[in-house]
Structure 1
């Protein structure tokens, strides 16, 4: 149902550092969660990494007496991994295009706290017409699965989504 535990990258040409990740995502601080892409194969899979720090904005208020990385932010990191794999599998987004999460199913098994390094592995399940992408994956900390996901993304032109207030 979900991909096997991610393996370490073996080909440096299939990795991405933080600067390159920013070229694939429109997200910026404080909503950019991926630190590194460890490995990828377009149309097949992507493995990314997120280092959770006590200095993250999300940790400051969640919760002051016991810091926990929000599950919604872990879901966003998973979606960002999927967005990159979607583009690698089709083409980069045009300036007037956006990706939207059509649906996401998630299951959380353990909390994630500052000091954890989360490895996210996503697998391409199905691509429909280059505009809809179905994918699944899991998040792992120290070989323990902390969450599992299934989702789909759609590619849309911003103008097709109605009047934009921005």
Structure 2
């Protein structure tokens, strides 16, 4: 395999199971979408996976006569992939820090339905101290289902003003 760290390979492969993913994300059921991180290279890219089940509440009600995985949930899975890559490329969030989506552009090509396994590949576009710009795509069986471009910012919770929660 190549010694180029930007290429995914067995030599540079890193992965995360569901339990480890929960150490990188503050999201929990029903808002935690990623099942696995298949591979990542800090500062370069991350490949994640989610499997769509008919048992997911959002799928059961969207729509009962023809189940479709909501595009908003796919967008959130993309953002969660970015949150993980942001942290492994810089540092873990402190207890008093949050990541916020600054902006997201998305384009959807095909619906995602129960039984589909979605693979999300994201790449770093630009990485600053407290801002992360990234883009990527989601595929099912190598067929593109969505493309995204987004940015995240890292902020201290206290800097967000009065907390109503």
Number of residues paired by the alignment? 159
Give the Cα separation in 2 of the matches to 1:42 and 1:54.
33
TM-score, scaled to structure 1: 0.93
Two-structure CA RMSD over aligned residues (Å): 1.4
Which segments of 5 or more consecutive residues in structure 1 lack a partner in the other structure?
1-6
1:112 equivalent in structure 2 = 112
Alpha-carbon shift at residue 13 of structure 1 (Å): 5.7
2:147 equivalent in structure 1 = 148
C-alpha distance 24-30 of structure 1, shift in aligned 2 (>3 A):
same
Structure with the bigger RCO (C-alpha within 8 Å, sep 6+) is: 1
Give the Cα separation in 2 of the matches to 1:142 and 1:72.
21
Where 1:48 maps in the other structure, the secondary structure is strand
- What do residues 36-76 of structure 1 show as CA deviations (whole Å, max 9, x unaligned)? 00000000000000000001121121001100000000000
Give the Cα separation in 2 of the matches to 1:99 and 1:52.
25
TM-score, scaled to structure 2: 0.93
2:136/2:147 contact within 8 Å kept: yes
1:9/1:15 contact within 8 Å kept: no
1:62/1:70 contact within 8 Å kept: yes
Give the Cα separation in 1 of the matches to 2:138 and 2:47.
10
Which segments of 5 or more consecutive residues in structure 2 lack a partner in the other structure?
1-6
2:8/2:41 contact within 8 Å kept: no
Alpha-carbon shift at residue 10 of structure 1 (Å): 2.6
C-alpha distance 123-13 of structure 1, shift in aligned 2 (>3 A):
closer
**Runs of 4+ residues deviating >4 angstroms:** none
Residue 18 of structure 1 pairs with residue 3 of structure 2:
no
1:90 equivalent in structure 2 = 90
2:157 equivalent in structure 1 = 158
Give the Cα separation in 2 of the matches to 1:20 and 1:13.
16
Alignment of 1:7-156 (within 5 A): 10=10, 14-128=14-128, 130-156=129-155
